[in-house]
Amino acid sequence: MTLAVSELFENIWKNYLAVTPSAIRVHELLGAGQALINDHVAYRTFNLEKVGIDKLAAHLTALGYEAKDEYHFEAKKLYARHYEHADPTLPKVFISELLVEKMSPEVQGIIKNLVEQMDEIAVSGDDFLYSGTHWQISFADYQTLLKESEYAAWLAAWGYRANHFTVSINHLEGIDCINQVNSIVREGGFRLNASGGEIKGTPEVKLEQSSTMADTHPVKFSDRTAEIPSCFYEFAKRYPMDCGNLYTGFVAASADKIFESTNQD
Ligand code: OOG
Ligand code: NI
């Protein structure tokens, strides 16, 4: 039985809040108690057969989501696709995957070991998109991943949960531009991701984005507990295309910098 789409996102949201308490504060700052519309949520995975993008997307396509554009990230060794629903109030979903074969043999070995620990059936469970990790990893292996791919390390520690939610600036009452959003969030005590500048994208590419740096939260590794970056909040403003409809895709050059919102100091 598949969950109703609203129930699915409510569960994803609760699971995200459990490690991202800042999200409540972001809502207070921007929503003044009103419900906010989320432009998109994002997931990370490995491009291995058992857990590739299609496995995550199956939970969405079953609810009417459709695959749209794809994106390549050469330096970070990632591939991504985004999904949309016909109901424009439902968040788009951006799913990326690490090109495991492009990692060093040592990192490939660690990742394959993690995925081998997973029960095949977990991936098709109703709760998969808010199920977290399905493996044990030592702190030393986490550190090895971190040296080569921050993305791989984050995924190994946090697993299958929304990496971020994204406030749709277009839907905010009384706030129009991303500069305003950034000021409010900064004055609220948050640090913004400054990689490539606080604002990624321009009206010309039809999408402007910014994001907080991820909260930190304790993770239980197999041999110790450590406090590491968890999840963050993003802000997006979309601009109309020539036809008049808002652009609904993503911008690879901007996304490349948004990934860095889970970097450690
Ligand atoms: C995804 C980064 C890309 C966007 O909106 O461009 C992204 C991630 O950090 O997993 O979310
Ligand atoms: Ni995003």
Per-residue pLDDT in tens (0 to 9) along the chain, 265 residues: 467 999 999 999 999 999 999 999 999 999 886 889 999 999 999 999 999 999 999 999 999 999 999 999 999 999 999 999 999 899 999 999 999 999 999 999 999 999 999 999 999 999 999 999 999 999 999 999 999 999 999 999 999 999 999 999 999 999 999 999 999 999 999 999 999 999 999 999 999 999 999 999 999 999 999 999 999 999 999 999 999 999 999 999 999 999 999 999 7
Residue 259 alpha carbon to ligand 1 centre in Å = 5
Number of domains in the chain: 1
Cβ-based burial of 75 (10 A; exposed 0-12, middle 13-18, buried ≥19):
exposed
Domain coverage including residue 258: 5-262
Question: What number does the ligand 1 atom closest to the CA of 43 have?
Answer: 10
Residue with the nearest Cα to atom 4 of ligand 1?
255
According to the model, what pLDDT value does residue 75 have?
98
The finding on whether 42 has its CB within 6 A of some atom of ligand 1 is yes
pLDDT of residue 1: 47
pLDDT at 32: 81
CATH code for the domain in which residue 181 is found = 3.10.180.50
Closest ligand relative to 263 C-alpha:
1
Site to substitute for ligand 1 among 46, 230, 234, 247, most atoms within 8 A of C-beta: 234
User: Judging by beta carbons within 10 Å of its beta carbon (0-12, 13-18, 19+), is residue 34 exposed, middle or buried?
Assistant: exposed
Could you tell me the distance, in angstroms and rounded to a whole number, from the CA of residue 262 to the centre of ligand 1? Answer: 10
Name the residue at shortest CA distance from atom 2 of ligand 1. Answer: 259
Distance 166 CA to ligand 1 centre (A): 10
